[in-house]
A and B are shown apart, each in its own frame.
Chain A
Amino acid sequence: MSVRPAEAAARLSLADRARRAIGDTDLQTALAKVTAALGAEGTAARTDPDMIEKRRRGAAIRREVLADLDGWLDRLQARLESIGVTVHRAAGPDEARRIVLDIARAEGVRLAVKSKSMATEEVHLNAALEADGVEVVETDLGEYIIQLAREMPSHIIAPAVHKTVPQVARLFTEAAGRELPSERGALCAFARERLRSKFLAADMGISGANFVTVDTGTIVLVTNEGNGRMCTSLPRVHVAVMPVEKVLPRFEDLGVLLPLLTRTATGQRLSTYVSMITGPRRPGEIDGPERLHVVFLDHNRRSLLGTPYEEMLCCVRCGACLNVCPVYRRIGGHAYDAVYSGPMGAVLTPLLSGGTEGRDLPDASSLCGACSEACPVGIPLADLLVRLRADLRTPGPAVPPAPPWPGHGPDGGAAPGSGPAPASGEPVGVAGDAPGRPSDSGPAARAARRLGFSAWARLWASPAGYRLSNAAVRRLGRLAPPAVVRRTPLVKGWGEGRDIPLPATRSFRQRLADRQKDGW
């Protein structure tokens, strides 16, 4: 059973998407493989003494940045501009798209090649460029596959992990216009050849940035395939979209964060290619971009500063939390219906979208804490999920929006929300869930829940209340027909797969009381 197109996903609830994923045997096999393989690497990285020290230092460096993020961004901008890089600031996705479109128009771009960048997916950049007549080609093999399939990534490190080789062969056959065998070597050869022609002809390369160092103005890109290098060496223009939390204070901090990222993500001591780009092409050089642009992307990240969610900005996008998450392992990335999935996605999606997407994601967790344990920079992901459950009770964002950058225009502003849905042609499902959680039927339901819990807590904070309410439930449970009991809200969900435990004939308290008279 193959994964259905993303159009269908947007209409299904999280529960239905989860059920579908759990029933998809191909997907289950793929998930077991990727989480086992990558999870083992992450676990091994955790116990390596060198890594333990790097984790400590890495966490400290990330928090150092967050303590003065705006200051670091200002210093970075100054440094980048001094080495010939043009800096833009995008408060949100609208602005980010507009900035890149303007650059593309100014440069007469017809073809753009992209290195894997979650940030560009977050702002739905491809659709905007395509609507403007620019051909955009994803060059990371996994991203290329899902671009052809018109799907979202299903794992942050291995975006096409849900695809089998035969499925990829079908996609590539269609793209090639000729029959391609269901064989890895042939499929990679096709991708290499097809994408190479794009690399050599492209006017613009678009990338994200794994890290950017403030003291040197160096953009760091990590890939295994070489597509990142292609995108940033061959076209005459390079645009790097940099989420604001990617900054590091010093060049030498890379010696800590890079191995920490690559070891935790895939077990590699270093990825095959680590590109360190400091400014555009220099006099006397014959390749490299003539013009280099960096777009600082906020998108509600700065609104997290000073809140318990600030720690989420330490994330290095290693995917360790996905690999150990027992829920992710079963439902896979597409069930989250968001650019970022797994525990980090469940936290980031409602926060970055200003509460317009992913409001139901924090509920899809057993709060086991494996994610918090696996995180190489110590983000308490499980705690943040608990907090989100409370902060998403009322409509709107979980935290107030950040003040705009000083001197920054109102366009695209700091308002929460990701703007209008992009033009058609973009894989559906990217626009995200309907606002509010499925269980929210409105202010009345929310108030009822709050009052209900408040009343329950007060009742149970009184010994008599506790005793009487339990006695009542016991009596009702026995009197009410099983059919009614089975439909009661929490009981219903429990009963979906399990036998419902009945209250014991004698509670512990009764047994204790009886013990006085008759012994145990």
Chain B
Amino acid sequence: MATEVALFVTCLVDQLAPEAGVAAVRLLEAAGCRVAFPEAQSCCGQPALNTGEPEAAAVLARHFVEVFEPYDAVVTPSGSCAAMVHHWYSRILDGEWAERAEAVAARTYELTSFLVDRLDAADRLAEAAPLDPAVTVTVHDACHGLRVLGLKSSARRLLEAAGATLVEMAEPEQCCGFGGTFAAKHGEISAPMADDKLAQAAATGADYLTACDSGCLLHLAGRRRRTGQGPEPVHVAELLGRALR
């Protein structure tokens, strides 16, 4: 019996990095899920919260709750969006809305964590999407997924099970400098932080720099196009998705 999951694709993936969303669907299906896509979904509200407009974020939070609470599981290819739902929704909503948000948060998962920890599908996916061991990958631990959700091993597990060779950079947990609106507001600090991350990734000699957050990856890719430094940033889902038979 297939597990039904609702995909929260995130506004960023939807508009700017759809390949990660496509890959997420394909991986979930390969892992035996039936993927529903509630059309009414939009944004988790982080940009508003981070800019200091929690009331606007709350509007989107309530919308998210309404859209997704009919489902048993909500899966998103973004650690930071999942963290927003888990950590902030109950803080920016009151009373009944906060309770409903907590209930939905309890069923909201980041993609790799869902595949590995909930579905235990790492090996199944490895068979469906084997990676060439000659290909080396270095993992960036995106901040919100890491510190709010405790994501550390699931992406690596998927990649290693599929046969990829992992090479760790010196400080995988150091922030890449995206920080959502920070990247636009303080480009003068954000860009050097990207340089530090890309330099560390380059030092590993890896073919790909990967993470569970498209925000980080777009920011790093954009910087890499200017400086030419570092391996190609690509979403974990996409890396595996490309290998899906």
Contacts and interface: CB of A to CB of B under 8 A. Distances in A.
Judged by CB atoms under 8 Å, the answer to whether A and B touch is: yes
Interface of A: 15, 18-19, 22, 326-327, 330-331, 363-370, 372-373, 383, 386, 388-393, 449-450, 453-454, 456-458, 460-461, 463, 466, 470, 474, 489-504, 506-509, 511-512, 520
Interface string B173-190: 111011111111111111
B181 to A, nearest CB: 7
Given A493-B187, A503-B16, A504-B16, A368 B143 contact: yes
Interface in B104-147: 143-144, 147
B13 interface: yes
Smallest CB-CB A-B distances: 3 pairs = A366-B179, A497-B191, A498-B222
A76 B101 CA distance: 44
Given A330-B189, A511-B21, 19 more contacts: A15-B186, A22-B192, A331-B189, A364-B182, A365-B179, A366-B178, A369-B148, A370-B174, A370-B175, A388-B52, A449-B53, A490-B181, A490-B184, A496-B187, A498-B183, A498-B225, A499-B222, A508-B15, A511-B18
A456 B15 CA distance: 16
Given A18-B188, A366-B179, A463-B40, A456 B56 contact: yes
Interface of B: 9, 11, 13-18, 21-22, 25-26, 37, 39-40, 42-43, 45, 48-57, 59-60, 62-63, 88, 91, 143-144, 147-148, 173-175, 177-194, 196, 218-219, 221-223, 225-226
A38 to B, nearest CB: 15
B45 A457 contact: yes
Contacts of B148: 369
A60 B190 CA distance: 36
A130 B228 CA distance: 54
A491 B184 contact: yes
Query: B25, B51, B52: which has the most chain A beta carbons within 10 Å?
Result: B52
Given A18-B189, A450-B53, A497-B194, A504 B219 contact: no
A453 B219 CA distance: 23
Contact of A508 (B21, B56, B62): B21
Nearest to A369: B147
A474 B14 CA distance: 12
B53 A366 contact: no
Given A373-B147, A393-B52, A453-B56, A496 B193 contact: no
Nearest to B25: A512
A445 to B, nearest CB: 13
Contacts of B57: 457
A501 to B, nearest CB: 5
Contact of A392 (B37, B52, B218): B52
Contacts of B186: 15, 18, 363-364, 493
Contacts of A504: 15-18
Contacts of B48: 453, 456-457
A96 B182 CA distance: 37
A23 B164 CA distance: 38
B53 A507 contact: no
Given A392-B52, A457-B45, A497 B226 contact: yes
5 contacts: A363-B182, A393-B53, A457-B56, A497-B222, A499-B225
Given A15-B188, A453-B48, A493-B185, A368 B147 contact: yes
Contact of B190 (A366, A367, A502): A366
Contacts of B21: 508, 511-512
B191 A498 contact: yes
A520 B60 contact: no
A454 B59 contact: yes
A508 B188 contact: no
Nearest to A502: B16
Contact of A367 (B22, B50, B62, B192): B50
B42 A506 contact: no
